[in-house]
Structure 1
């Protein structure tokens, strides 16, 4: 009788020690049931870095767009050049009593990372792309505003062109916003004839701007180990984003003056720093 009672007592202790959530293993030890499923993940970003902003355009291209300022590229300030960068050039071709031809060019680059809270990087980039196009179409004082898609340029691209009258002259503004996967490129290009010079052709400026933005898109893909185009076969990034969808370096905005150092940017296509 004493032996039977002892065996019954040991069996009860084993059941209590295992607990309701434990399962018996072959060695006699217990292990807990698997926990709940892991947190949901988002698709990783296609591109992990940006090219140097003042080297995204070929020398010949710069000579066409800003003939007197091809070597005057000025890089914008940024606390994180891997996600946000820009460069601007200005040109003033003085023709004496006939006046001057002014040109201003700015390229801004913004890269998004995938984030569990904000979502996939390309989705964030698309939202910012849409915002930039809307900003370019709503510039105060703009006349004859037109928007059109730009074929063969990244994942999506739109050209916004308009006229802007300033005290120095009539400016022809071209803003192209292009998205290549999780990177958004904003190219601002404007020109004006000052002090009696004729106003430049908006069509000519548009063609030059479209050629330039294709080079910038190609530079983005090349910086991530690819050729020109916009495919996303690079290794994805897993680092979380530190900025919201409104992060970007602000393009400078100034009117052309009668001096050779003038710069102008009537576009509103800049976003807030995160």
Structure 2
């Protein structure tokens, strides 16, 4: 995977003036665009689209300062159809417009070319098992919420606390297959994992495929496949988020598996009364790499 990410970086450099064919690269490397983008964003700390924009504007800034043509010519050189669109992208990266930089020489914010290297230190214990599951269904209450990488997501918290206590008990009674109990489900996640992008969050349970879902509940159909299940314990949600990040930095680069599209599931096995600590299972859909 590290080699694949470095080849992706090289592809970006070759196509800063047009669109990189990430899907074709993924096929050639024997992986998927979905997994490649997810691993890039996890390890680089930014979406691939943001890295491309920063690299384009880094090189474009040099052309602007050196007077390499008028601003429209530079805009076209880096894949923008108008000076206005180029100016917006330029300002988003550098904080000032290209005209200001041409006149004053700066300020400029440089994005160096990334290079990935694998250092596996085993800093995060990975208590993992692989599970084969037939198709099943997730049922519960769903909402569209923004993605937040660290800390408690207030939008998810508000969604859960708005449900009456009897509804939590009703949902738990519906659960009839693994993973058992109430689940925190994230679906329709942007492959780039851009913070602030929307995802579907479902507070619900897993039921077998043939179990009818009550009409007042939302449902997500989950196809048959393998799951990597990571057990976490400690301060909540910090321990869970640390393990989630470590799946990208330590587990996937070291194991012959890749993410496949599908929801991620968190089952709370035990927790403190105030939810300050918890023992959880993180379920991620995987397939052979």
**TM-score (norm: length of structure 2):** 0.21
**TM-score (norm: length of structure 1):** 0.22
Higher helix share: 2
